[in-house]
Amino acid sequence: MLLAIDIGNTNLVFALFKGQEVCAQWRIRTEHHRSADEYAVWLFALMNRAGISEKDVTAVILSSVVPDANFEVKSFVRHYLNLEPQLITNGQMDIGMPVLLDNPRELGADRLINAFAAWSEFKQALIVIDFGTATTFDVVSAKGEYLGGVIAPGINLSLEALQRAAAKLHGIAITHPQKVIGTNTTNAMQSGIFYGYAGLIEGIVSRIKAERGEAMKVIATGGLAPLYAEATSAIDTVDTDLTIRGLRLIHERNN
C-alpha cells in the first residue's frame, strides 16, 4: 500500500491507497511540535481499527507546506514504517508540468500537485480552486503548463479575523443562507461570509477566463468546495481528494 501524507497549514491528512483507490483516510490538526511517537500512536490505532497493519505500507509520499512539521513526520515514517518518504516541499520535483512563474521555488507543493492532478484527468485549460487556509486559484493552460494564479484569505481565516476585530460579533457556522439580507447578527454574518466569497469566486473566475480568452474548466477542492459548488455556476466539478490523488500520480510517475 502507498501512504500519502499531505501536511497543510490547518490539517495533516494521511491516505492509504490500495492500487489506485483510497481505502482509508484520516486527518489531524497540524501542530508543528507533535512528535513522531504521537503520530505513530494515533495513526496505528486508526489503521488497526480499519483492519490494516503498518506492515502493509510499502511506500510513502509526503507533501508539505509547513517546513517545521517535516522533521517529526519524516522521523515517524523512518522509525515506525522503516521506509524513506518521498518528499515534495516546494514543487521542485519534475512532474512533467512546466511552471511558468517568475520564481518557481515560490510555488507551494499543494498548488502544483492540485494542478497536476486536475490536468492528468481533464487534459484541458483549467482553473483549480482550493478552499483551504487560503483560497487559491491555480491556472493551467491547454498545453498543460502551470501559469500562475491568485491567493486570497481563506474563508475560515476571514471569519476568525472578523470575530477578533469586532467585540460584538460571535462565532458562527458557515452555511448557505436562504436570504441575502440577514435579520439578525448571525444571519448577517453568515450572509456576508457565504455570499461574499461566492462573489469573490465568480469575479476572479470570470476575470481569469477573460484574461486567457479561452474556455476553461473549473475544479474545486477543499472542505468547503461542495457547499460553494451548490451556490455558484462558476464551479464545474468538485474533487475533495484532488491533492491526495495527485500525490499518488506523482509517486507512480517517479517510480
* Active site amino acids: 110
Distance in angstroms (rounded) separating the CA atoms of residues 140 and 98: 10
Residue written as grid cell 502551470 = 146
**16 close to 1: Cβ distance less than 8 angstroms:** yes
Cα–Cα nearest to 172, from 150, 194, 153: 194
CB atoms within 10 A of CB 222: 24
**List of residues 6+ apart from 245 with CB closer than 8 A:** 22, 117, 239
Residue written as grid cell 462565532 = 171
How many whole angstroms from its chain centre is CA 2? 19
